[in-house]
Structure 1
Amino acid sequence: MSEMRLSRDNRRWLLTTHIGASVGWLGVAYAMLIMTITAEGSTDLATRQGAYALMSTLDLAAVLPLGLLALATGVILGVGTHWGLVKHWWVAVKLFLNLAALVIPMLTRHPALADALAAARSGLLVDPARQVLDASIASVVVLTAATVLSVYKPWGRTGARI
Structure 2
Amino acid sequence: MTATATPTRRAPRPRPGPPRLPRNARRFLLTVHVVTSVGWLGVAYALLVMALSARASDDPGSRATTYALMLSFDNAAMLPLGLAALVTGVVLGVGSHWGVLRHWWVAVKLVLNIAVLVVPMLTRHPALADAVDAARAGLLTDPAQQVLDGSVASVIVLTFATILSTYKPWGRTRANF
Aligned to 1:99: 114
Deviation at 1:33, TM superposition (A): 0.3
Q: Does 1:75 align with 2:90?
A: yes
> Which one of the candidate residues 59, 62, 66 is aligned to 1:47?
62
Q: TM-score, normalised by structure 1?
A: 0.98
Give structure 1 stretches of 5+ with no counterpart. none
Q: Distance in 1 between matches of 2:141 and 2:174?
A: 51
> Which one of the candidate residues 82, 85, 88 is aligned to 2:103?
88
Aligned to 1:113: 128
CA contact (8 A) 1:26 1:143 kept: yes
The one-letter code sitting in structure 1 at the alignment partner of 2:105 is: W
The one-letter code sitting in structure 2 at the alignment partner of 1:73 is: T
Within a 5 Å distance, the mapping from 1:144-159 to structure 2 comes to 144-159=159-174
Q: Does 1:31 align with 2:46?
A: yes
Deviation at 1:4, TM superposition (A): 2.1
User: Could you say which structure has the higher helix fraction?
Assistant: 1
Q: Does 1:139 align with 2:151?
A: no
Aligned to 2:11: none
The one-letter code sitting in structure 2 at the alignment partner of 1:148 is: I
Q: Distance in 1 between matches of 2:18 and 2:100?
A: 11
Q: Distance in 2 between matches of 1:40 and 1:86?
A: 40
Deviation at 1:125, TM superposition (A): 3.1
Aligned to 1:63: 78
**Identity of matched residues, %:** 65
Moved more, 120-129 or 75-84: 120-129
SS of structure 1 residue aligned to 2:171: coil
Instruction: Report how many aligned residue pairs link the two structures.
Output: 162
CA contact (8 A) 1:37 1:133 kept: yes
SS of structure 1 residue aligned to 2:67: helix
- Give CA-to-partner distance per residue, 1:33-82, whole Å, 9 cap, x none: 00000000110112101110000000010000000000000000000000
> Which one of the candidate residues 1, 4, 8 is aligned to 2:23?
8
Q: Distance in 2 between matches of 1:47 and 1:89?
A: 44
Give structure 2 stretches of 5+ with no counterpart. 1-15
- Give CA-to-partner distance per residue, 1:68-114, whole Å, 9 cap, x none: 00000000000000000000000000000000011000000000000
Q: TM-score, normalised by structure 2?
A: 0.90
Q: Distance in 2 between matches of 1:127 and 1:120?
A: 11
